[in-house]
Chains A and B, each alone.
Chain A
Amino acid sequence: MSTLSPVSWWRNPWRKPWGLMIVTALYLTWSLLPVAVAVLFSFNAGRSRVTWQGFSMRWYYGDPLRSVWHDSSLHAALVHTLWLGVLATAITVPLGVALALGLDRWRGRIPSGANLAVIVSFVLPEILMAVSLLFVATVLVSPLKLGTSGQVLGLVTFQLSWPVVIVRARLLTIGRDYEEAAVDLGASPAGAVWRVLMKLLYPAIFASAVLVFADVIDDFILVRYLSGDSSTETVSIKVYNTARAAPTPALNALTTLLLVTALIVVTLGYLGYRWFTRGEKGAGAIDVFAGES
């Protein structure tokens, strides 16, 4: 009966890792349950955020004054958040992809300095960039103005490192054979980049667009410092301003809508990424959506 003794159980290298399993399960519960409760209370019939009073869509469109649909300050925040996401993604991705291609192949002092700047901007606390751009907007006379334009310029600067990192990781796996073959077959270098390399980079470009968009709509620090007035407030600013001041579940409804948008975008992005990389060995890994390429 030695198989049942605690000592042999402990020594058995194939036993189930119960301890780690429990830690992981507890972590996941702790990590996701509060958000699930917040989503649940966005459907509360009463205005309490702590007592369940029945299911309703009151805080989405039912309430004539305070629902997301009817309170213009709430849905304007949602629209502005998504608009910033679209604008910032549309500028960041082409700029970042070109920068990634350039930095990957161009050797010298300037590109290695720029490379360092990209890495530093990737991990630097966001508040530093936000304060420095706020100073530029308030102290200098420059095209950078508080409001939508300032927010977009700041977000693009902050997000630029994402496409650079992802595209460069992909460039490493592609190698140089395809473009060399294209040039050998008569393409110009620019033509080889445009017609061969770009096609191979589609998955990375697509993944970085999804990442940038999902990141921008969750941004808080930059967007808050560079917002001029209440017309350029986003969902995260609304939450920050009202979370402690007895808000209604409409705030939960607003954040739930943002959450649903982000999850739809990321899911579509993941499916799209799998479609782009179909047939590739080891591709379709979910890792890339953690910036993990």
Chain B
Amino acid sequence: MAEVETETDRPVPDELEESQASRRRGAEPEPQKGVGSRWLWGGLALPGIVWLCLLFIAPLYVVLAIIFGGIDPILRQPVPVWNPLDWDFSQFNFVMGRIFGPDPYFRPAMIRTVAYVASASLICLVIAYPVAYFTARLAGRWKGLLLAALIAPFWISYMMRMLAWVNLLQTDGLVNKTLSAGGLFNVHYAWLQGHSTTVILGLVYGYVPYMILPLYAGLDRAPTAMLEAARDLGASRFQTFYRVTWPLTRTAVVVSLLVTTLPMLGDYFTVDLLSGSPSNSMIGNLINNSVLTPGETGQAGAFVLIVLVVSVIPMFIYLRSTRSGTDIAV
């Protein structure tokens, strides 16, 4: 939720050419205006780049080699195939066939993933936008304290927050007790036994804090003078919001949707803790259930590939669209 400067068309510092020129002359590279050479900055970046190549990029290729590799017939272990020319698409086709084909074993989980993630993200936005708006614009001297309270869930482990709800939602738990209003009603709702509502609300509860922060940043940056001008020029409250505030914060909304939707796609533990039923499983559960099952490793890889493609594509579209705008707040 900070700003990363993308590659802009900032001019290449001239000291690069100058220092190269001086090297060619065999002279000591004289420090010019602007500091450091390609070697200094390259040397500083090198360990990190090597690390990312070895532990981020290369493992993704291992995933491909396993999806398109074979399975040892006796040990049921995956056998990676490194050469793309020898890739065997049978495992991948098997998964695709069971999503799109006539035997749609995996299709319900895919549809559920889309439905859960979409509705949870929308509910998140509906909750987060007013809260961020109030904090950024109207909180006055309470702003610091309020911001601290909004950030707090960020530092409370996700598992602890889910554990809290598991305890509250027990059939004899505090939620049902509260709803019973001291014996007035008799509520014994089994919240934790495979209800989509519980899962969606759990996702909302888990990911809302991540959404509030980028929205807050966007609203805080939007110039107040513009809003005042809109009101002065006769726009109503809603017109001001619809025609000034919303367009000004549209980027922040896209970013906030991105940072909540993408992690939700890989979520499996929320379903496991709040539902425990395969009738609520999402694609994350499919990955988690097959990744350690002998013989199904390639399937897990295929699901991983689906999530990867689905999450990387919107990101690149977004990065492209903000090229000219120099900064992306991630």
Q: Hey, what's the 0/1 contact readout for B108-130 against A, CB within 8 Å counting as 1?
A: 00000000000000000001001
Q: Is the CB of B266 within 8 A of A291?
A: no
B52 contacts A by Cβ under 8 Å: yes
Contacts of A99 in B (CB 8 A): 44-45, 47-49
Q: Is the CB of B304 within 8 A of A132?
A: yes
Q: Is the CB of A95 within 8 A of B1?
A: no
Q: Is the CB of B146 within 8 A of A24?
A: yes
Q: Hey, what's the 0/1 contact readout for B267-305 against A, CB within 8 Å counting as 1?
A: 111001100100000001001100100000100110010
Contacts of A290 in B (CB 8 A): 1, 147, 151, 154, 213
Cα of A243 to Cα of B165 in the assembled complex, Å:
10
A98 contacts B by Cβ under 8 Å: yes
Q: Hey, what's the 0/1 contact readout for A231-272 against B, CB within 8 Å counting as 1?
A: 000011001100110000001100100110011001000000
Q: Hey, what's the 0/1 contact readout for A103-117 against B, CB within 8 Å counting as 1?
A: 111111011101111
| Residue in A closest to B172 when the chains form the complex, CB atoms | A50
B55 contacts A by Cβ under 8 Å: yes
Q: Which of B58-66, B90-98, B99-107, B183-191 contacts A (4 or more CB under 8 A)?
A: B58-66
Q: Is the CB of B55 within 8 A of A176?
A: no
Q: Hey, what's the 0/1 contact readout for A121-138 against B, CB within 8 Å counting as 1?
A: 111111111011111100
A70-107 residues at the B interface, CB under 8 angstroms: 95-96, 98-99, 101-107
Known: A128-B308, A193-B40. A243 touches B163 (CB 8 A): yes
Q: Is the CB of B231 within 8 A of A13?
A: yes
Q: Is the CB of B161 within 8 A of A34?
A: yes
| Residue in B closest to A135 when the chains form the complex, CB atoms | B62
Q: Is the CB of B1 within 8 A of A292?
A: yes
Q: Can you report 23 residue pairs joining A to B where beta carbons are below 8 Å apart? A: A13-B231, A24-B134, A34-B165, A35-B164, A37-B174, A49-B170, A99-B49, A101-B41, A105-B36, A128-B60, A135-B66, A135-B301, A136-B58, A153-B55, A168-B4, A176-B35, A184-B31, A190-B40, A220-B159, A244-B166, A244-B273, A291-B1, A293-B3
